[in-house]
Amino acid sequence: MNEIDTSQFNDSVATETSWSPSNIAASSFKTRKLTLLNKNQLSFEPTLAMKLLGAMFIFVGFYLLAFLGSKMPAHSWWIPNSFLHAGVVPMVSLYFILFGLGMLYLESSPIIFDGQKNTFWHGRGKQRQSIHFSEIHALQLIPQSVATPTTPDDDLYQLNIVLKDAKRINVTRYTNDLAARRESQAISEFVNTKLWDATTLERR
């Protein structure tokens, strides 16, 4: 990928900011959607697809535990008795259940722009981080991957907060450029800060 020409922003902080995607995991489908909780709060909530995926893993885990864990003789023609008695079924079932619960827990971690307190905050407990709107210099929207002629829909996009010292905080990722621009612009207006949209910028 060619280097982004940051001079187009006419901002010294932009030249000091990293324009490489941050090292975060990315899904091939949209896991969060921007939601107006009330007139003072914007929140990235888990999508229905994300909730269904997590629920599916949990369901499969309980299904395996109930269906195979019973050791019914009728199933012995395709499931070895050693498999049923070696404790493998409970282990696999527990893995699916915990994986589904973990997925839902991580993707439901709060990501909120609070207009009443003028604060962005994300995470839970000791991992929670909060940033006052006055510390935000800009929002940065960048491509996370490069499309190819055969896979044009594989583009991913990252939305980051850029602080006044050019440090970045990742907000979320997108699988659709239109949704990325629309929601990033909405947040930009809500926070009253500039948006650096690198998805359509010229490269050098």
What is the pLDDT at residue 32?
86
pLDDT at 137: 96
Residue-wise pLDDT tens digits, 87-127: 677 788 889 999 999 989 988 889 999 999 999 999 888 88
Residue scoring higher pLDDT (151 or 59): 59
Which residues, in sequence order, are bridge partners of residue 120? Answer: 113, 131
Whole-number pLDDT of residue 169? 93
Asked whether residue 146 carries a pLDDT value surpassing 50, the answer given is no
95-104, 128-137, 181-190, 193-202: which has the minimum mean pLDDT?
A: 193-202
**Per-residue confidence at 193, pLDDT binned at 50, 70, 90?**
very high
Do residues 195 and 65 touch, judged by C-beta distance below 8 A? no
- Smallest Cα–Cα separation from 162: which of 182, 190, 142? 142
- Distance from C-alpha of 142 to C-alpha of 4, rounded to nearest angstrom: 9
pLDDT at residue 1 in the model = 47
What the block records as the tokens of 7 is: 């001079």
pLDDT digits (tens, 9 = 90+) for 155-191: 789 999 999 999 999 999 888 889 999 999 999 999 9
Q: Token digits for 125?
A: 């407990």
Query: What is the value of pTM for the model shown?
Result: 0.76
How high is the pLDDT of residue 199? 84
pLDDT of residue 200 exceeding 90, the answer is: no
The whole-angstrom separation of Cα 33 and Cα 177 is: 13
> What was the pLDDT predicted at 42?
94
Q: Which of 25-34, 73-82, 192-201 has the lowest mean pLDDT?
A: 73-82
Quick check: 143 and 157 in contact, CB under 8 A? Answer: yes
Mean pLDDT, rounded, of the chain: 82
Q: What is the DSSP string of 94-117?
A: HHHHHHHHHHHHHHTS-EEEETTT
DSSP for residue 74 = G
Query: Each residue of 10-51: pLDDT tens digit?
Result: 899 999 999 988 766 556 677 888 999 888 999 999 989 889
Contacts 24+ apart (CB under 8 A), 140-143: 140/17, 140/19, 140/168, 140/196, 140/198, 141/180, 141/181, 141/184, 141/195, 141/196, 141/197, 141/198, 141/199, 142/4, 142/19, 142/21, 142/198, 142/199, 143/1, 143/21, 143/198, 143/199
- Count Cβ atoms below 10 Å from residue 115 Cβ, excluding itself: 16
Amino acid symbol at 99: F
